[in-house]
Amino acid sequence: YAMLLSLIFLIVLVAAVVGFVFRHEIKTNFESNLNLALRDYNATTDRHSEAVDTIQRTLHCCGVQNYSDWERTEYFTQRGIPQSCCKSQGDCSEEDLKDLSKAKLKVFVDGCFFLVTSTMESKMGIVAGISFGIACFQLVGIILACCLSQYITNNQYEMV
């Protein structure tokens, strides 16, 4: 049992160190994937398109760096900026969303990349605290399992 807990503890420790060391690569990878999702956006039941819509609605953002990122997409040439960027859903018409100067007044202008990364970084303290607490419980469990094993091998418990 102590060995199993030690193995889990080491896996969590390695994952935390790798996440901390490669956090910049994670951000770069996320930004490139978000750019790809915008490029391939099609407003259907595609998982990537749904994820983009969810991020934009939830965080009140639009595009990667800002709302004008949509101008470089195929979707923009057909339909303009997606409805998920609108500040209020009933206020955005298709012709407003095709004109960037009109859309600026009706859509969220901030990009999603900065909001997502800042949200993740702000929650990292909470995640680190919870992980540290779990690690402490695992260490206590490892120590107690080793003590129990030592008592058993020393025949301090009566065998049944």
3-state secondary structure of 160: coil
Which residues is 110 bridged to in the sheet?
66
**How many Å apart are CA 116 and CA 103, to the nearest integer?**
22
Q: What is the pTM of this model?
A: 0.67
| Domain ranges within the chain, ordered by starting residue | 1-158
Q: If we measure between CA atoms, which residue out of 142, 138, 131 comes closest to residue 16?
A: 131
Task: Say what the pLDDT of residue 43 is.
Answer: 66
The CA-atom distances, in angstroms, between 159 and each of 95, 105, 123, 152, 154 are 82, 79, 50, 9, 11
**Alpha helices (H) along 40-156:** 47-59, 74-79, 94-98, 100-106, 112-153
The winner for highest mean pLDDT among 19-28, 123-132, 143-152 is: 143-152
Model confidence at 65, in pLDDT bands (50, 70, 90)? very high
Q: What is the mean pLDDT of residues 32-50?
A: 84
Alpha-carbon span 86 to 59, nearest angstrom: 12
Inter-residue contact 56 to 62 (CB < 8 Å): yes
What fold does the segment set 1-158 form as a domain? Cd81 Antigen, Extracellular Domain; Chain: A (1.10.1450)
Single-letter code of the amino acid located at 68 = S
pLDDT of residue 39: 87
- The pLDDT value recorded for residue 134 is 86
> Could you report the per-residue pLDDT of 140-159, keeping only the tens digit for each?
999 999 988 888 777 655 55
Query: In angstroms, rounded to a whole number, what is the distance separating the alpha carbons of residues 19 and 131?
Result: 13
94-123 average pLDDT score: 86
Predicted pLDDT at 78: 86
